[in-house]
């Protein structure tokens, strides 16, 4: 048997151990990425073999959380892909406005930048008061950051530029307070946001949604898991509801593709077709 095949077995065992011990299921994550991250984690921790890692992870919850963080890249930014927000403003918000109240779900919200960005947009379009926003992630530590809404001040330059690129109507500084080298997002933006832990691999539908954001999360999943998650979204969305994916993700060639029409391909915004 080749070394590569043995490594495969070791990784299978590691993922199985993580699942049985902690309930986090990475077995259907995109394999190549998991392999790469495991190798990097080994060298960073100075561990000799995957089996050694498996052994330690089984007994050390702290090591598990840093491994889990390694598996799920949490990069995000305020008004990431500004053009997508522009499309939201122009093509999606006017439709959201036709519901007396509407719900938004940020699935895999990471540290919350995306959630605050959309909240700002909804406020500027004067529909924030009609919204309920769910921000979920399976990683409690990023979720805590999201709840706090405190970001490094040196990231605000990019954020301001993005905000303008997204068609922002005010001055971006209206939305945060700078303190001790950090920026705190304005508390009123949080009024209608519910932060909650939700794992897309194991958990189910929890409410009817009008707009679902799931950006840059599906890329880490294998095809089967992507389909499962897209179906979960499909069950959650109302007829005519919107799905917004990351710039590398698409519903083309997935099992739900024919139930959606493209609102804007580049912004990866899709609309669920009305169907009985």
Residues that bind ligand SAM (CB under 6 A): 72-76, 80, 108-110, 114, 137-139, 142, 199-201, 215-217, 220, 246
Least gap, CB of 132 to another protein (angstroms): 5
User: Environment class of residue 90 by beta-carbon count within 10 Å: exposed (0-12), middle (13-18) or buried (19+)?
Assistant: exposed
Residue 257 interacts with another protein (CB under 8 A)? no
- Please give the residues from 173 up to 202 whose contact with another protein meets the rule CB under 8 A: 192, 194, 196-199, 202
Of the pair 57, 263, the CB lying nearest another protein is at: 263
| CA–CA dist 31, 205 (Å, integer) | 26
Q: Give 132: exposed, middle or buried? Use CB within 10 Å, 0-12, 13-18, 19+.
A: middle
Task: Take residue 165 and report the two structure tokens written for it.
Answer: 């690129």
- Which of ligand SAM, another protein, none interacts with 108 (beta carbon under 5 to 8 A by kind)? ligand SAM
132 binds another protein, rule: CB under 8 A? yes
Q: Is 256 helix (H, G, I), strand (E, B) or coil?
A: coil
CA 51 from chain centre, in angstroms, equals: 31
- CB 54 to another protein: min, Å: 21
Could you tell me the smallest distance in angstroms from the CB atom of residue 223 to another protein? 9
Binding test (CB under 8 A) with another protein, winner from 9, 20, 36, 224: 36
Supply angle C-alpha 80, 100, 147, rounded to 5: 40
Decide: is 239 part of the binding site for another protein (CB under 8 A): yes
Q: Do residues 183 and 151 touch, judged by C-beta distance below 8 A?
A: yes
The C-alpha angle with vertex 266 and arms to 170 and 166, in degrees rounded to 5, equals 5
Residues 87, 39: Cα–Cα separation, whole Å: 39
Binding site for another protein (CB under 8 A): 23, 30-33, 36, 39-40, 43-44, 73, 75, 77, 80-83, 94-95, 97-101, 130, 132, 134, 136, 158, 162, 192, 194, 196-199, 202-208, 216, 219-220, 235, 239-240, 247-248, 261-263, 266, 274-276
């Amino acid at each position: 048997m080749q070394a590569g095949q043995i490594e495969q077995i070791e990784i299978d065992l590691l993922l199985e151990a993580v699942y049985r011990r902690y309930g986090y299921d990475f077995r259907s994550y995109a394999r190549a990425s998991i392999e790469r991250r495991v190798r990097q984690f080994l060298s960073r921790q100075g561990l000799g073999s995957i089996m050694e890692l498996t052994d330690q992870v089984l007994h050390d919850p702290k090591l598990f959380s840093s491994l889990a963080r390694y598996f799920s890249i949490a990069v995000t930014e305020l008004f990431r892909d500004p053009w997508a927000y522009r499309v939201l403003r122009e093509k999606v918000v006017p439709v959201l406005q036709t519901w007396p109240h509407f719900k938004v779900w940020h699935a895999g919200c990471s540290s919350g930048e995306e959630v605050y960005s959309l909240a700002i947009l909804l406020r500027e379009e004067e529909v924030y008061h009609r919204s309920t926003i769910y921000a979920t992630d399976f990683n409690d530590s990023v979720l805590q950051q999201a709840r706090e809404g405190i970001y490094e001040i040196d990231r605000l330059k990019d954020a301001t530029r993005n905000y303008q690129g997204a068609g922002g109507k005010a001055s971006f500084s209206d939305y945060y307070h700078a303190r001790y080298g950090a920026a705190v997002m304005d508390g009123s933006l949080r009024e209608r946001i519910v932060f909650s832990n939700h794992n897309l691999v194991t958990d189910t539908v929890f409410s009817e949604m009008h707009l679902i954001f799931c950006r840059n999360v599906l890329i880490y999943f294998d095809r089967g898991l992507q389909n499962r998650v897209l179906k979960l979204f499909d069950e959650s969305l109302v007829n005519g509801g919107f799905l917004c994916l990351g710039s590398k993700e698409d519903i083309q060639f997935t099992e739900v593709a024919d139930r959606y029409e493209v609102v804007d391909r580049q912004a990866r915004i899709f609309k669920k077709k009305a169907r009985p």
